[in-house]
Structure 1
């Protein structure tokens, strides 16, 4: 049986069903529905040939060519589908729900699969993705200067069942000149948006959701503007961690990174740090004086954060002083701060 279904209804099915994307590997690499498997009907080169035939000769000749190119592949397609969906329930889509997904759905149905054919294909999924960013969310933004350990705090909040969107995790970048950590590879912009949209879909929109304070761009990826605008208008918990503790945590994080990578990233900050400070920072890296290196670059990052903070509505900012010695206690303090009428929450020592 072939069941045409909208992408929203498919995602909302009570029991997850494996989804197959029959577009080319190149299309799939550019952006996919999270969790989808790729069984390409055509190779990248074959799709170009079929498309050219469609435009220059006609639809019927393109269809015949398509069958010529895939004729020996169909048993392999079905075997792959059986590995992906042994219960023989499967979703199928192509770019816009046309001939490629229709042909695959026909073959799988003929074999005995129950097929859910995504109406409008991946093109409709992209429309659905953009719609998620337009919806209102109950955001609370976690801010603080570089080295405050915001990501660790987000993960702790998540562990106690708070709703969290980890934008840096989705973007595979830590949001600074050193943000790739010399190992992270960013997804395409399209995939970043797809992954974010699916996480937003899974939220309870009536409940609080935590996000880390970010600039509009995270590395080379851009936060969708409607969602970014909501972040800018939301309550900001500005956590204040002593500089010494921030330096200590950053040293621990950066000391394992390759010196060449750190030097290359630092030199890209030359216009912002200035020639003399850049030279001193590079020298500190070369001499393995990591704390000195961190203190130099923090001057720039702290100034940048202070500038961004000054542009926010002061009534929407709550300062929370934490010491980052006890993560659980710090998170409890942050949660209590949301409900406090005081603009400043002092730490245990009254600092």
Structure 2
């Protein structure tokens, strides 16, 4: 049986009904629905060939070529589908809900699958993604200078029952020149947006959502505009941690990284850091004076943070001095502080 369904109706079942994306491996790699499996009808080269035939010769010839290319593959498609969905319930989509997904749905239905055919395909899904960023959310921003431990506090807030959105985790980047940590690989912009929308749909928009303060870009990725505009105007808790504590934590986190990586990242911010400070920072890296290296680059990052803070509505910025390095206690202090803001603002 083939059931035509919208992406909105299918998404609640995505965890229980596997979703097969029949687009090419290249299309899938560029961006896909989180949790979907790639079951490509055509290879990358085959899709180009079929598309060219469609444009230059005609629709019927392209369809015939498609059958020629897939003729010996159908049993393999069905076997792969059985591995993905052994109970024979499966969702299927292509780019626009056209011939590729229709052909796969026909074959799987013939074999006895219950097929949920996504109307409009991945193109409709991307429309749904963009709508998530235009929805209204009750965002609260956790701010603070580099090294304040914001990410650790963010996750502690989740442990305390708060809703959070970890943009740096989704972006696979820690938001500075050194943000890849010499190991993280960022997703494509499209996949970042898909992953963000997928997590947003699991949150209650009527409850507070904590987000770490970020620039518009996290590494090579951009925060979607609708969500970014809400971040810019949200309440911000500016946590203040001593410089000594920040330096200690940053040395512990970054001091173990490859020195050549650190030096190359420092070189990338030469224009903003300044030639002398860049030279001194790189020397400190290779001489294993990590405290000095951190203090030198913090001058630039602190100045940048303060500039961003000054551009916010001062009535929405609330400074909070944290006195210790205990993350659970700091999270509790933040929650108590925000409760007082809610009462008095």
TM range (shorter): over 0.9
Tell me the secondary structure at the aligned position of residue 340 of structure 2: coil
Find the counterpart in structure 2 of residue 79 from structure 1.
Answer: 79
Cα distance in 1, alignment partners of residues 110 and 141 from structure 2: 51
Q: Structure 1 residue 162: deviation in Å?
A: 1.2
C-alpha deviations, 1:132-164, integer Å up to 9, x for none? 000000101000000011111111112222111
C-alpha deviations, 1:224-266, integer Å up to 9, x for none? 1110000011110110000000000000001111000000010
Q: Tell me: CA distance 1:113–1:324, structure 2 relative to 1, closer, same or farther (3 Å).
A: farther
Judge conservation of contact 1:318–1:337 (CA < 8 Å) in 2.
no
Structure 2 residue 55 is the aligned partner of structure 1 residue 55: yes
Cα distance in 2, alignment partners of residues 320 and 80 from structure 1: 55
Judge conservation of contact 1:245–1:323 (CA < 8 Å) in 2.
no
Find the counterpart in structure 2 of residue 150 from structure 1.
Answer: 150
Find the counterpart in structure 1 of residue 312 from structure 2.
Answer: 312
Map 1:95-106; keep pairs closer than 5 Å: 95-106=95-106
Q: Tell me: CA distance 1:13–1:150, structure 2 relative to 1, closer, same or farther (3 Å).
A: same
Cα distance in 2, alignment partners of residues 42 and 152 from structure 1: 44
Judge conservation of contact 1:172–1:184 (CA < 8 Å) in 2.
yes
Find the counterpart in structure 2 of residue 327 from structure 1.
Answer: 327
Cα distance in 2, alignment partners of residues 335 and 161 from structure 1: 11
Q: Structure 1 residue 342: deviation in Å?
A: 10
Tell me the secondary structure at the aligned position of residue 340 of structure 1: helix
What number of residue pairs does the alignment pair up?
Answer: 343
Structure 2 residue 258 is the aligned partner of structure 1 residue 270: no
Find the counterpart in structure 2 of residue 107 from structure 1.
Answer: 107
Q: Structure 1 residue 273: deviation in Å?
A: 1.1
Find the counterpart in structure 2 of residue 21 from structure 1.
Answer: 21
Tell me the secondary structure at the aligned position of residue 257 of structure 1: coil
Cα distance in 1, alignment partners of residues 21 and 154 from structure 2: 33
Cα distance in 2, alignment partners of residues 92 and 263 from structure 1: 47
Over 4 Å off, 4+ runs: none
Tell me the secondary structure at the aligned position of residue 214 of structure 2: coil
Q: Structure 1 residue 268: deviation in Å?
A: 1.0
When the two structures are superposed, what TM-score results if normalisation uses the length of structure 1? 0.96
Unpaired runs of 5+ residues, structure 2, are none
Q: Structure 1 residue 16: deviation in Å?
A: 2.5
C-alpha RMSD of the superposition: 1.3
Find the counterpart in structure 2 of residue 348 from structure 1.
Answer: none
